[in-house]
Amino acid sequence: MPLRLEVFRPQLRISFTYIHRPCEFSLTGVDSLLRVTDPESPPLGRTFNLMSGRVAPVCSPRYLERTQHRGVAPRALASMDLLHALDKGDWISWFKKAGVGTIRLRPGNIFEDFGLLRSALLFGQGVGLCPVESFRRGHSPR
């Protein structure tokens, strides 16, 4: 539980549940809902942006040393071991915005949880897209 809530409301219990796919559910009994969504999606209720949604490619120096990759230009990234969060849509969108255009991605590991993706990055498994906001707070993989 976030520390501030624990101090102000010690009796409060929070249940964190993943629901990654679109589904029908009732908001009965739900006080708060965190949802990752496209900015164009209609809101379910009152909404707040928690993060910018901007991401950047990240890998450990160990990965670059092991694979002997020299360039990290957008097109060069396509030949690296790309790690995916949920599906390959994140990388496809990133390459398009980086001006690379349509690119054929190699198969890569898919992680349902950012913590798992981050661990894989730390251990040199490949390159992943990580929230830019996490770097500003000093949580970047090393």
Q: Could you tell me the CATH number of the domain that includes residue 61?
A: 3.40.190.10
User: Whose CA is closest to 128, among 26, 71, 57?
Assistant: 57
Asked if the structure places residue 23 within a domain, the reply is no
Asked if the structure places residue 126 within a domain, the reply is yes
Asked if the structure places residue 45 within a domain, the reply is no
Average pLDDT, the chain: 75
Cross-strand partners of 82: 127
Residue 15's pLDDT is what? 64
Query: Could you give the CA distance from residue 58 to residue 37 in angstroms, rounded to a whole number?
Result: 22
User: Which has the higher per-residue pLDDT, 81 or 20?
Assistant: 81
**Structural domains in the chain (count):** 1
Answer whether 0.75 is exceeded by the pTM: no
Residue 142's pLDDT is what? 47
Predicted confidence (pLDDT) per residue in 31-58, tens digit: 666 666 666 667 666 666 665 667 889 8
| H or E element, residue 111 | strand 110-111
Asked if the structure places residue 47 within a domain, the reply is no
Predicted confidence band at 20 (pLDDT cuts at 50, 70, 90)?
low
The boundaries of the domain holding residue 71 are 55-136
